[in-house]
Amino acid sequence: MRDEIVAAVKAAGVVGAGGAGFPTHVKINASVEIVIANGAECEPLLRADQQLMAKLSTKLILGLKTVMLATGARQGYIGLKRKYEEAVSNLQRDIKEMGETSIQLFFLPDIYPAGDEQVLVHEVTGKIVPEGGIPLQVGVVVSNVQTLVNVANALEGKAVTDKYVTIGGAVKKPVTLKVPIGIKVQELINIAGGAVVEPYAVIDGGPMMGKVIDPNSPVTKTTGGILVLPLDQSLVTNKNTPWQMIVNRAKAVCCNCLACTEACPRNLLGHSLEPHRVMQAIGKGQIGESEIYSRAFLCSECGACDTYGCTMGLSPRRVNAEIKKQLSKQGIKNPHHAKPQQVRTNREYHLIPTKRLIARLGISAYDVKAPLSDQEVPVREVKLPLSQHIGAPALPVVKVGDNVTKGDLIAVIPERASLGVNLHASISGQIVMVDNHCIGIRKV
């Protein structure tokens, strides 16, 4: 059974839809006790996953059951928040009607980052993932809800060609759409009525972990949301602050007040990451090979330390990210793999309520509904990146001038790649571009 499921998921090009794009066929080729559907959607302003759980509740349950069969898991949980009322109602109804006694809902606290894999695993199971580890090490597989819907589709022979995306923030009509992968982000902003501020920045993902992108960038398999924010909004300016300014501020201003460490979700789980100590070390000199610097590898870059913890406008998150990058260039790998025995005794008092976070970020005005629309998204051309996942870029199997139908295989996993994902046409049309980075398709 496992081999057939893994093969179908691999053929369909399924990746983790809510994170870095880890190949799903690799993740589910394992034996675990528990599978968790991640429906936390803890990033403020995003709405796609909660609406997907409501609209495609049956397919989500089938996808979860499929992964349970592949992994041999005896228990499945759908982790979500009680405030997702329609999703809760539909899932409870379908679980009952389908007689799925091994699947149940788990209601998560309305905190950030409840959707972080390690936080989610602890909330649902009480287990603590080792430092620098993955849920598999404690007998758990975690999959985003869109990923599980794609798994269910894969068993029907349907490839991953579309993505559910919230377009929100400073747009006229916030909305959630099902769009073809490869469509320009600017086209989605136009469908949402356009930006209501000038000048503006575009964030791919949520306000906390999302990245500032060019509006002409394409939607990928991992795009979770598109947010438009004023260019001078503090979130945007922080994301655009140059590294040299970040490090100069850290050296000059950090008073080691511990606020960043007390807000750190990984520290609260018992991990030895202490952002304030990394900031202290930065203040003493250049990044070097030391035990303190190497703890930056334990950072998930969730941003709780800088956007919620630090009151001085500093960014331990950016410091940790740069340290990880520089240490990796030196060939240094994470040496920290301890397994915490218990969470911090004061953890419950340091959890970050979502409403308070939204207020702190200054985005309360944008915290509005973005209803899922059934409208067909008009698209003339798409550009599909060959690398939308962790692993080797896909290898094109089409050439300029070829005609393709939506769902056709257009790029494959390289023969010797340990990690890779197939790529399929997201619209029907003619191949107009093939290079080392992407494949372009235009409707004819």
Note whether 223 and 261 are same-domain residues: no
The residue behind tokens 């769902």 is 407
Q: For 28, which DSSP code? A: T
Return the pLDDT at 36: 98
In this prediction, residue 193 carries a pLDDT of 98
pLDDT confidence of residue 292: 87
Are the C-beta atoms of 383 and 432 separated by less than 8 Å?
no
Task: Answer whether residue 358 is part of any domain.
Answer: no
Q: What is the pLDDT of residues 79-90, one digit of tens each?
A: 999 999 999 999
Residue 386: other Cβ atoms inside 10 A? 21
- Give residue 25's pLDDT band: very low, low, confident or very high (50, 70, 90): very high
Pair (20, 150) in one structural domain: yes
Boundary of a domain, candidates 154, 174, 192: 154
Residues 204 and 248 in one domain: no
Question: Residues of 218-243 as b/e, b for ≥16 C-beta within 10 angstroms?
Answer: bbbbbbbbbbbbbeebebbebbeeee
Residue predicted with more confidence, 284 or 157: 157
Are 177 and 228 found together in one domain?
A: yes
Residue 289 predicted with pLDDT over 80:
no
- pLDDT surpassing 90 at residue 133: yes
Residue 329 contacts residue 289 (beta carbons within 8 Å) = no
pLDDT of residue 2: 94
CA distance 97 to 66: 17
Whether 142 and 10 map to the same domain: the answer is yes
Angle between helices 48-55 and 85-97 (to 10 degrees): 30
Same domain, yes or no, for 98 and 169? no
Q: What is the per-residue pLDDT across 134-168, written as a single tens digit (0 to 9) for each?
A: 999 999 999 999 999 999 999 999 999 999 999 99
Whether residues 20 and 94 fall in one domain: yes
Asked whether residue 365 is domain-assigned, the answer is no
CA dist., res. 209 & res. 207, Å (int): 6
Q: Which of 211, 36, 224 is nearest to 119 (CA)?
A: 36
Helix (H) or strand (E) run with residue 241 in it: none
- Mean of pLDDT values over 244-254: 91
* Whether residues 25 and 116 fall in one domain: yes
Which position has the token pair 């007390």?
262
- Whichever domain contains 437, its CATH number is 2.40.50.100
Answer yes or no: is pLDDT of 317 > 90: yes
199 and 110 within one domain: no
Coil vs helix vs strand at 64: helix
Q: Tokens 């698209």 identify what position?
A: 379
Mark which of 233, 256, 283 sits at the end of a domain.
233
Task: Flag whether 425 is in a domain.
Answer: yes
Half-sphere exposure of 205 (CA within 13 A, CB side): 16
Q: What's the farthest any 2 CA atoms get from each other in the chain?
A: 63
pLDDT-derived band at 288, boundaries 50, 70, 90: low
Q: Which of 12-21, 272-281, 399-408 has the highest mean pLDDT?
A: 399-408
What is the value of pTM for the model shown?
Answer: 0.96
User: Which CATH number goes with the domain that contains 174?
Assistant: 3.10.20.600
Q: Which of 121, 99, 112 is nearest to 37 (CA)?
A: 121
E strand or H helix at 24? helix 24-27
Our CA dihedral for 145, 149, 155, 159, rounded to 10 degrees, sits at -110
C-alpha distances (whole Å) from 377 to each of 181, 352, 373 are 11, 36, 10
The rounded distance, in Å, linking the Cα atoms of 220 and 182 is 6
Contact present, 421 and 376 (Cβ < 8 Å)? no
Query: Domain check: are 150 and 169 in the same one?
Result: no
pLDDT at 284 over 80: no
pLDDT at 83: 97
Cβ 84 vs Cβ 47: under 8 Å: no
CB contact at 8 A, 185 and 226: yes
Residue pair 33/139 in contact (Cβ under 8 Å)? The answer is: yes
Residue 197 confidence class, pLDDT cut points 50, 70, 90: very high
116, 266, 280, 375 from 304: Cα distances, Å: 12, 10, 18, 36
Q: Is 229 among the domain residues?
A: yes
- Is 364 a member of any domain? no
Check which CATH number belongs to the domain holding 306 and give it: 1.10.1060
374 within a domain of the structure (yes/no): no
- 1 pLDDT band (50/70/90 cuts)? confident
User: Of 336, 351, 366, which residue sits at a domain end?
Assistant: 351
Residue 27 has pLDDT above 80, yes or no: yes
The pLDDT of residue 286 is 58
What percent of the chain has a predicted confidence (pLDDT) above 70? 99
Number of separate domains in the chain: 4
| Predicted local confidence at residue 114, as pLDDT | 97
What does the pLDDT read at residue 118?
A: 97
For residue 219, give the nearest of 261, 158, 167 by alpha carbon: 167
Q: Which domain holds residue 122?
A: 2-154
pLDDT band at residue 287 using 50, 70 and 90 as cut-offs: low
User: Would you say residue 118 lies in a domain?
Assistant: yes
Q: What is the mean pLDDT of the chain?
A: 96
- pLDDT for position 10: 98
Q: Give the pLDDT band of residue 304 (cuts 50, 70, 90).
A: very high
Q: In the chain, what is the straight-line distance between the N-terminal and C-terminal CA atoms, in Å?
A: 41
Note the Cα 435 to chain centre separation in Å: 27
pLDDT per position as a tens digit, 406-438? 999 999 999 999 999 999 999 999 999 999 999
Both 212 and 285 in a single domain? Answer: no
pLDDT over 90 (residue 8): yes
Task: Tell whether 149 is covered by a domain.
Answer: yes
The span from the CA of 217 to the CA of 231, in Å, is 18
116: pLDDT strictly greater than 70: yes
pLDDT score of 205 more than 80: yes
149 and 10 in a single domain? The answer is yes
- What is the reported pLDDT for 122? 98
